[in-house]
């Protein structure tokens, strides 16, 4: 964006933990492990009572969101099982072992939705993202090869000013060689500098692959850090 200079983005471009960190990774928190589907919610009145901390997962359709949730939960069917045709326009809630909730938001850019339904839905989604008090953080799934879309940028612009943290997972990184992975992450960080308000902190980006589990432990550590001890 023109006229935009440096921002205090916490962009985590460290390579994901490798061999030397295996012992540490074994002890790493695994907040989504054992997650179970609790409810699909299509309107505000059905939302769970606010109480438990919630972490939202968002991203465009086909960004790899379901695969990422499944990889983090170590449960290959979890996010797909709740995604039956015709029920795509709902927030799927998963309960974590420690009592926190994951809110799997419907992928945006879903073409087969009537225009008015789409508008109503977007309004619900938008209100959820911007007004839900117990929503403590956002995980944004971005295909590493595509980078941030306009809608991703709009979601970030709406969410980040609240000061709540965002973790961007650059998905399907296994489809890129290591130089291209670095480049893809650098591009996302550059795009972030264009869309985040000056001084925005607590936004980090990392490589991720559900296929190879690249970045899974790193993401788990970040997610666990958002939750109070008893909710991990």
Q: Which residues pair with 138 in a beta bridge?
A: 56, 166
* Residues 162-191, interacting with ligand GDP (CB under 6 A): 171-172, 174-175
Single out the segment in contact with ligand GDP by CB under 6 A; choices: 18-26, 55-63, 195-203, 222-230: 55-63
Q: Which residues pair with 59 in a beta bridge?
A: 141
Single out the segment in contact with ligand GDP by CB under 6 A; choices: 61-69, 113-121, 153-161, 187-195: 61-69
Whole-angstrom distance, CA of residue 232 vs CA of residue 225: 8
DSSP string, 48-78: PPS-S-EEEEEEBTTSSHHHHHHHHHT-TTH
Write down the least CB distance from residue 175 to ligand GDP, Å: 5
* Residues 184-223, interacting with ligand GDP (CB under 6 A): 209-211
* Residue partners of 118: CB distance under 8 A and separation at least 6: none
* Residues 104-143, interacting with ligand GDP (CB under 6 A): 107
Q: Are 219 and 41 in contact (CB under 8 A)?
A: no
Q: Which is nearer to ligand GDP, 142 or 189 (CB)?
A: 142
Q: Are 79 and 92 in contact (CB under 8 A)?
A: yes
Q: Which is nearer to ligand GDP, 103 or 200 (CB)?
A: 103
Question: How far, rounded to the nearest angstrom, does the alpha carbon of residue 181 sit from its chain's CA centroid?
Answer: 19
Q: Which is nearer to ligand GDP, 177 or 197 (CB)?
A: 177
Contact status: 90 vs ligand GDP (CB under 6 A): no
Residue from 65, 92, 101, 203 touching ligand GDP (CB under 6 A): that is: 65
Whole-angstrom distance, CA of residue 160 vs CA of residue 140: 12
Single out the segment in contact with ligand GDP by CB under 6 A; choices: 49-57, 64-72, 86-94, 160-168: 64-72
- Of 91, 161, 107, 97, the C-alpha closest to 130 is 161
Residue 31 burial (CB count, 10 A): 26
Q: Which is nearer to ligand GDP, 7 or 118 (CB)?
A: 118
* Residue partners of 49: CB distance under 8 A and separation at least 6: none
Q: Which is nearer to ligand GDP, 173 or 196 (CB)?
A: 173
Residue from 66, 90, 204, 218 touching ligand GDP (CB under 6 A): that is: 66
Write down the least CB distance from residue 80 to ligand GDP, Å: 7
Contact status: 74 vs ligand GDP (CB under 6 A): no
Whole-angstrom distance, CA of residue 15 vs CA of residue 163: 26
Contact status: 61 vs ligand GDP (CB under 6 A): yes
Q: Which residues bind ligand GDP (CB under 6 A)?
A: 59, 61-67, 107, 171-172, 174-175, 209-211
């Amino acid at each position: 964006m023109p006229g935009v200079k440096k921002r205090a983005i916490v962009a985590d471009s460290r390579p994901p933990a490798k061999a030397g960190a295996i012992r540490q990774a074994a002890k790493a928190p695994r907040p989504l492990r054992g997650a179970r589907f609790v409810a699909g919610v299509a309107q505000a009145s059905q939302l769970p009572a606010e109480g438990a901390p919630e972490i939202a997962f968002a991203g465009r359709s086909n960004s790899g969101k379901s695969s990422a949730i499944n990889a983090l939960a170590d449960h290959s069917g979890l996010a797909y099982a709740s995604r039956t045709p015709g029920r795509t326009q709902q927030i799927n809630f998963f309960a974590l072992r420690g009592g926190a909730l994951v809110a799997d938001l419907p992928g945006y850019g879903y073409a087969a939705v009537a225009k008015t339904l789409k508008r109503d839905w977007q309004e619900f989604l938008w209100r959820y993202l911007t007004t839900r008090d117990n929503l403590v953080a956002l995980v944004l799934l971005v295909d590493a090869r595509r980078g941030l879309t306009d809608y991703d940028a709009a979601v970030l612009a709406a969410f980040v000013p609240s000061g709540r943290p965002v973790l961007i997972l650059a998905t399907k990184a296994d489809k890129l060689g290591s130089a291209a992975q670095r480049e893809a992450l650098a591009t996302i960080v550059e795009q972030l500098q264009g869309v985040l308000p000056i001084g925005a902190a607590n936004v980090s980006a990392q490589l991720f692959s559900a296929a190879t589990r690249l970045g899974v432990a790193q993401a788990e550590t970040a997610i666990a850090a958002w939750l109070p001890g008893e909710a991990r």
